[in-house]
Amino acid sequence: MERGERSYAQALLEVAEQRGAVKQIAQDFACLSAVLENVEIEGLWRKSLSSGEEGQLAQCLVETLPLSPLVADFLIFLGEHHLLICLGDLAHHFPSFLQEYTGQRAIIFSTAKDLSKAEREAVTNSLQSLLASEEKPCFSTDPSLISGFKIQVGSQVVDFSFKKHLEHLGDVLKGKAA
């Protein structure tokens, strides 16, 4: 994470801690990360945008995603100050920064479709048992996974999605993988 992104993440976490909203911020960034992995959306915020366009894109994200007011205000700030370009890296590295900041591992469980309450409870129980931890995962939905799931624990990712299998198959067919 670049120095500026780390500063923004730290400031956001400090405010979240004051408001007792650190868990919500983690969930918001899991949601943002999943959305920003979408190729079409990634193309929007990665290209050179005017500050007015960045503001509009930030406003669109705020209106579309179920984000806390703190993260919504943060996105608007980034858009207004022509800083939205750092959002992708910030969202990607946020779990490991959160882990470093709080001394806990961030656990993100992503699926292609929303899980029912019973499924979430089963996943939570299984992960807590497997990891010998009381930490609860943040759940996110990423339709680009097609099916399967992806687990991120701190900076480690285990991807059992159909999307990942298709990418690997493509690499094999192109001669890029062993």
Cut 0.75: pTM above it: no
Task: Name the CATH architecture for the domain at 1-103.
Answer: Orthogonal Bundle (1.10)
Q: Which amino acid is at 154?
A: G
In this prediction, residue 40 carries a pLDDT of: 60
pLDDT confidence tier of residue 93, bands split at 50, 70 and 90 = confident
Distances, alpha carbon 159 to alpha carbons 34, 97, 115, 147, 165, in Å: 13, 21, 17, 11, 9
pLDDT band at 28 (very low <50, low <70, confident <90, very high): confident
Name the more confident of 101 and 125: 125
Stronger pLDDT, 26 or 119, i.e. the higher one: 119
Report the DSSP beta bridge partners of residue 35. Answer: none
Q: Could you tell me whether strands 107-111 and 138-141 are parallel, antiparallel, or unpaired per DSSP bridges? A: parallel
- Split at pLDDT 50, 70, 90, the class of 27 is confident
Taking alpha carbons only, the member of 4, 57, 56, 65 closest to residue 33 is 65
Q: Which pLDDT band holds residue 161 (cuts at 50, 70, 90)?
A: very high
Mean pLDDT highest for which of 44-53, 88-97, 156-165?
156-165
pLDDT at 102: 75
Residue 38 confidence class, pLDDT cut points 50, 70, 90? low
